[in-house]
Structures are given as C-alpha cells and as structure tokens.
Structure 1
C-alpha cells in the first residue's frame, strides 16, 4: 500500500513538472499583433482586383449619390413660378424659368410648354419621354454596383481556394502535415473571402440605397408632371 501511494505521488509530481515546463515555454513565446495591413498584404494577388472593385464601387456610389440628391431637391418654387407665368399668359417667361432651373423637372416642363397648342396627349407623351431620359441619366452606372456586389465575393472565394490548393501542394512536396503549416496558410487565405464578402455587402447596400433614392425622384417627377398637366387643362374646363 505504501509503495502504491509513493508511485501515485511520483506520477502527480511528474505531471506538475510537465505543466510547469509547458507554462514556461508558452510564456517565452512572443505575442504577435494581428495587424490589418499585414493581413491584406498576405492575402495575395486576389486582393488587387478586390481592392479595385472596392474603389470603383465607392467612386460610383458617391458620384451618383450627390447627383441624385441634387435632382431630388425641392422644386415647389419652380412650379409656383411656372403656374404664375402660365396664368398670366406669358409662356416665354415660363420656358425661360424652366430652362434656367437646369433640373430634370425643369427640362420636363420646358418640353411640355413648347408643345402647348397641341392635344394634351401629345404634351403628356413629350413630358413622359423627357422623364424617361432624365431617369436613365440618374440610373447611369448604378448597375455596376450590382455587378461589384456579385463579383467581389467570388474573387474572395477564388483566393481562398487558390490558397488551399497551394497548402496541399506544399504538403505533397515537403511531406509536412503539421497544424502550424496548414492553419497558418489557411487563415491568411481566408482574408480574401472576408475582404470579398465585405466589399460585396457594402456594394449591395449602396446599390439598393441609390435605387431607393431614384424611386423617390421618379415619384416626385410624376407628381409634378400630373400637376402641370392639370394646370394646362384648367382653362379648358
């Protein structure tokens, strides 16, 4: 019995000594900071097209954002001035006011004013055609954001797959299957997936934000166009 307790105590002491040595070795390992810039660089060549897509998406978003925002400004004063000119019979003044406004609504109303004297259907058709052109101008390049949202994650997955292929290729050449080799290379290549998904998500959100802004502008233009047509029909009622 005494011998059994002695062996158990000896085994416990060895376990304590092993744990102490492991703790000392871990304490000697230097702490490595995970820097964002280093990860981007280690992502490989795939980070270049992802970065280009990110810059392209941001440029398109801000350019379209300010353009659409300018087109969505309140034009109530324009409608008031045009109404006053039409009621006074001064069509030339109304045309000049619309031309000087340099806005989608102003161009639509100007086309309608130049068609006064023709049937209402012709005036409506002319305003509608100009409205379609103005909307197409506002939607210019917005579709590219949708393309960026779809392509960026694909590039990210492509980088990860290329990294995994390289890892297994290196293992086949060196016959080294240590977890350090596998996990070290894999976590770096996963950066491409994260970057691609991030760029794709941002582009997707920006795409829908711009579309919602355009929809609001379209609704406002349609409302003002109807008000203008009603104004032209008033004298004939």
Structure 2
C-alpha cells in the first residue's frame, strides 16, 4: 500500500513541476506584423506599399534598360557602309527601323551631316542626354524609398515604445515584465520591416545604375565610332 502512495505522490510532484515550468509561446509572422495596434498596422501597410512600389519600379526599369541595351552587332557596320557609299537616306531608314538609344543618337548625327563637326557632336550629346533621362526615369524614387523605408520603420518603433512606456506609467509601476517586453518587440518589428524595404530598394537602385552606365558606355562608344567615320578622309 505504501508503494502505491509513493507512486501517487511522485505523480503529483511531477504534475506540479510541469505546471511551474514556463510555457513556450510560438509567434507567427502574421501575428507579429499585426500585433502593433492601429498605429503599427498603419505603418506596416505604408511599408508594404513602398515595397510593392519599389519592386514594380525595379522590374519595369530593368526591362526597359535591357531592351535599350539590345542592338544588332552589324548595325554600325551597315551604317558605315551606307555613309561611305553616299546612301544617307538608307542610313537614316536603318536608324528609324532600329528602336534603341544608339540608333537615335546616330540618326541625330546623320541628320546633321554637312554641318561642322562640332555641331554634329553637340547634337549627339544633346540626344544622349535625352536618352539618359529616359533610362533614369523614376530610378531616383528607388533611392528615396531606400532611405524612407528605414526611417518610417523607426518611426513606428518610436511610437510603439512611447505607447509601451505610457502603459507602464499608467499602470502605476505594476505592469508585468512580459507584457512590457511584448510591446517592445512588437514595436521593433516595424524597424525590421523598414530595413528590409530599404535594403531591397537600395540594391535594386544600385543594380539599375550599373545597367544604365553600361548602356551609356555603349552609346558613347558608338557615337565616337560615328564621329571617327565622319573624320575619315574621303
């Protein structure tokens, strides 16, 4: 009989020990994002709108720049052949049929043939500036998002911290540590999301800058080839 009593006492002790152990709470990403109250959720919505806008701008500009960088390898050879043989109209037609910044630059130069070389160079430079403006369209907004995202996230954290400490003060110092910690990590979630948005926008912006510079170098190289062609002795 004593053996059964010992077993029962051990079982009761084990149950009490299990009850005293802290229960580990699991936290899903959705709960973390939506547990910041109205203010936190509003800032999260703004950050996700910025993220969507940044991704849209990046892929739209990337496709446009990739399209602008594609040019037939034989384009300049055909231009040289037409100009050296006096077929100016054929060279203009070839440029008009080729949808690329390089073709538009060369077309601008061909339309100035017969004028001083300095005027031709100036016309090509002006056309190049216009093409560069088209390539860089809206990319500066990515740079803005890369800076604004972390700042907006930090704003959400500051607001959340203020609310957490206000709750502690209004509780007369009797607030539970767990409740305070929950409010703090919920507030810091906006900073994490803001940093993610900023990093994505920053990487996208710098990638587009590199791609744009490659197209600009391509335009400059072909413009120099065209001017050299005009400088060749007849």
TM-score by length of 2: 0.87
Q: 1:161 to 1:65 in 2, by over 3 A?
A: same
Aligned partner of 1:138 in structure 2 is 135
Residue 106 (structure 1) shift: 0.7
Q: Which SS does the other structure have where 1:115 is aligned? A: coil
Of the candidates 25, 28, 31, which is equivalent to residue 38 of structure 1?
A: 31
Q: 1:22 to 1:188 in 2, by over 3 A?
A: farther
Residue 101 (structure 1) shift: 0.3
Matches of 2:46 and 2:75, distance apart in 1: 46
Equivalences for 1:37-186 in 2 at 5 Å?
A: 37-43=30-36, 44=40, 45-175=42-172, 176-186=174-184
Aligned partners of 2:95 and 2:104 also within 8 Å: yes
Give ranges in structure 1 of 5+ residues lacking alignment: 1-16
After superposition, the CA RMSD in angstroms is: 1.9
Equivalences for 1:210-229 in 2 at 5 Å?
A: 210-229=208-227
Matches of 1:235 and 1:75, distance apart in 2: 27
Matches of 1:206 and 1:95, distance apart in 2: 36
Aligned partners of 2:92 and 2:107 also within 8 Å: yes
Aligned partners of 2:70 and 2:100 also within 8 Å: no
Aligned partner of 2:5 in structure 1 is none
Aligned partners of 2:71 and 2:100 also within 8 Å: no
Query: Does 1:230 pair with 2:228?
Result: yes
Matches of 1:78 and 1:110, distance apart in 2: 12
Residue 19 (structure 1) shift: 9.2
Residue 22 (structure 1) shift: 4.1
Q: Which SS does the other structure have where 1:203 is aligned? A: helix
Stretch moving more, 44-53 or 60-69? 44-53
Aligned partners of 2:102 and 2:218 also within 8 Å: no
Matches of 2:13 and 2:89, distance apart in 1: 97
Matches of 2:14 and 2:220, distance apart in 1: 77
Aligned partner of 2:200 in structure 1 is 202
Once the two structures are superposed, what CA deviation does each residue of 1:28-54 show, in whole Å capped at 9, x if it has no partner?
Answer: x3x543212222222422111111111
Residue 185 (structure 1) shift: 1.0
Residue 82 (structure 1) shift: 0.9
Give ranges in structure 2 of 5+ residues lacking alignment: 1-11
TM-score by length of 1: 0.86
